[in-house]
Structure 1
Amino acid sequence: MSDTTKKLRIDKWLWAARFYKTRSLALHAIENGRVLMDGVRVKPAKTIATGDHIVLHFGQAKFDIEVLALSDKRGPAPVAHQLYRESDESAARRALMAEQHRMQPEIAVFKYRPTKKDRREIEKFRNGE
């Protein structure tokens, strides 16, 4: 981890904190407005410091995090997790969404193209026969 007085680009920090697999993915997320810092949309070259508040949107999931330390080197996940702290509300909201997703019924997916017999059975099922 780097010195706490040092400033760092937000795209590099998001990559080092393992939110994105590559810096270019972090860059695209920032450019598409999925990353907010202190409630404001930022540019990839925006410098961050310890204590900054960042909101990340991943589809339906939303991370509310506080920057605890800076690092421009990507390390193992336990080390990367020490760079930030997720708010309790954010963690609870994501856990609730994961539980709701898990409880949704699974959609049937065919692994092959239905045969003529399969299509007849599907039609019978749809018609309630």
Structure 2
Amino acid sequence: MPEKEKLRIDKYLWSIRLFKTRTLASDACKAGRVKLDGTNIKPSHEVKLGEVYTVSKGPDKKTIRVTGILESRTDAKTAAGYYEDITPVEQTPGFKSMFHAPILKRDRGTGRPTKRDRREIDGLQGDFFEKEPGEETEKK
């Protein structure tokens, strides 16, 4: 693909496949979910090589460094060569779920839990899913 000297951030994020449509990428910029050095940027911001962007999509945050300017959308394998994912491992969804999810297991063949079983399971979990990771539970 030919490289272009000037490219808008919304088009860049769409072309490297971080967003499904260019409109979604533009809306994310307008909503402040795309940042350059901690400051919000407009969809018309010019992308430069070596810049580091933080992109928030739902609960996930991704930090990328621009390694090439891609003008049009291509397949995922090619697009991956135009940016470097420098997201810390601790912020990846896989890492979070590995350490912060409860391990629930039922014996095979025991069937669906009864109401009593369900209350016991909920009691064991407490308010696990309402708390953020790292928050302490209050003592009553």
TM-score (norm 2): 0.67
Change (3 A) 1:51 1:125: closer
Gaps of 5+ in 1: 107-120
- The sequence identity of aligned pairs, in percent, is 31
Deviating runs (4+, > 3 A) in structure 1?
A: 1-4, 103-106, 121-126
Q: Which has the higher strand share?
A: 1
Q: Secondary structure at the match of 2:20?
A: coil
The CA deviation at 1:50 is 0.8
The CA deviation at 1:104 is 4.0
TM-score (norm 1): 0.72
The match for 1:18 is 17
The one-letter code sitting in structure 2 at the alignment partner of 1:26 is A
Aligned length: 109
The one-letter code sitting in structure 2 at the alignment partner of 1:73 is S
With CA pairs under 8 Å and 6+ residues apart, which has the higher RCO, 1 or 2? 1
Gaps of 5+ in 2: 105-113, 120-140
Q: Secondary structure at the match of 1:72?
A: coil
Change (3 A) 1:39 1:104: same
Q: CA RMSD in A?
A: 2.4
The match for 1:118 is none
